[in-house]
Amino acid sequence: MCLAVPGKITKKKQGHKALVEVAGLEREISLDLLPDALEGEYVLIHTGFAIQKIDEADAEETLSLLRDLVQANEVHG
C-alpha cells in the first residue's frame, strides 16, 4: 500500500523544488511531476514528490483522519 500525504506549498524554490508544511512540519519536496503548482496550494506528496493538487477541504479532512489514526494507535498501541 502506498500513502500520499497532503501538504501546503509555502515557498517555491529554484529548480522545481518547494517547501511544504505538513502537520506543522516543513520539508523540501520536488515539483518535477507537478511544475505548475503554486505557493499556497495543497498537493499530495509521495516519496518526496508532489503528485497531485488537491483542495484545502480534502487536505484538512485527510490530515484529520491521519491524526485520528495516530491517536488511536497511541491509546491502543
Domain residues for the domain of 51 are 5-76
pLDDT in tens, 15-71: 999 999 998 999 999 999 999 999 999 999 999 999 999 999 999 999 999 889 888
In degrees, rounded to 5, the angle at the alpha carbon of residue 20 between the alpha carbons of residues 36 and 16 is 40
Count how many domains the chain has: 1
The grid cell for 44 is 499530495
- The CATH number assigned to the domain holding 64 equals 2.30.30.140
What is the rounded CA–CA span in Å between residue 54 and residue 43? 5
Q: What is the band of 73 on the pLDDT scale with cuts at 50, 70, 90?
A: confident
State residue 30's pLDDT score.
98
pLDDT in tens, 39-52: 999 999 999 999 99
